[in-house]
Structure 1
């Protein structure tokens, strides 16, 4: 974008979910890395003085593709619309997309999704409140107040994985966040592992490396740097 263009689309390249969160200040967001690969994210930001527009390139949903195209066009045009007109158009487009997303599901499907979210919320709250506690599947279903089959179906529909797999990945992410917040001089990796219910250190290191492509000790020793920022 040239200097004469008053609409500056800011771009942030990130290499970690923690950096992705820091790239969207003022928002309360919680990310979990659930697939084994190096994380690579990007956030683009546009301030319309009252309306803040963010695009994250971690999601290929319809809304993300539409917003990506909008911000790309704004970054390339030399004669953009006024901020007031653009704000109104973006709000109308957002409402249209959200309205069409709602009508795609019938009442029974919406109710089922709501029940699945409640089950996930109960399990997630337990996992956050008691990081050192472990439960088997039957105990986890009793905690959620549903049958074992309902628990498994909810996790399959909502996350695409089993409850135990989801819980292990969640706790690996929590361990990573703790390692990133600590200093190597006063922290032992084993202490962090045990805090998140990983009692076999060798298995913890192996699972951690498979997910994040680095050892826990490397995360602890790594110097922190913010997301790379540039204007487009």
Structure 2
């Protein structure tokens, strides 16, 4: 088996009341924030960090000039939250709203942020993402990103922004984050979105037989590991294809996206656990075990698939 190992994940949240506190809240970074607009400063920095991947949600009510640097050989992606529509200045150049900023972590540009900023920042080990691109057979211009600052239209990262909203809007608990499925799910999903940003390929000219072979290989891997359904990142690495390529093959051959297929497999795994329910775990624990971060969303998807709520499954099975 080639399952992803449990990760070392840390969670940190800090409410800040001045620019010095706000700068210090960026752990592993050397950041200087100068306040530009008038008024009392209020901010929040929320961090989820692995050894090779760091996710930060940065919120502040005042306009700032921000400079600094992060870890060497890391690449940063700054992704606007859905509500963020204001223009900002990057190294003295006006940038229109809703662009993703990609920059080497040790050579960050000077940013003049707007008031009421709400933005996600991802910092990833460059060697790790290069290795994953190689595993999926993707050629990209990632080396150019590692040496210069780029602004990319946010339409390329709309799904990434939605994913980050889901993660940071969750009522995260230490207990949830102990589950390897939650850890691997967060990391795998973000890494795959970053790989998608680097993949400029479109639909692929693949024969029906070749599509069927790829889908069969992916399904065989999933079915051989029903006790631990893989993430989409793991599946792409095992098959040796990008998510776009794998999705194209699944859709053309199976009528489902690989993400939908994996979600169904995880829901079925949770269903089996609930059919053999014991008081040792509650329903939320079972949902987290299979990588469902939002219990409400899990319950809704579960009811759609099985025509009953998880609690009803327990009552019917007991």
The TM-score with structure 1 as length reference comes to 0.41
Which has the bigger relative contact order, CA under 8 A and spacing at least 6? 1
Q: Which has the higher strand share?
A: 2
Q: Which has the higher helix share?
A: 1
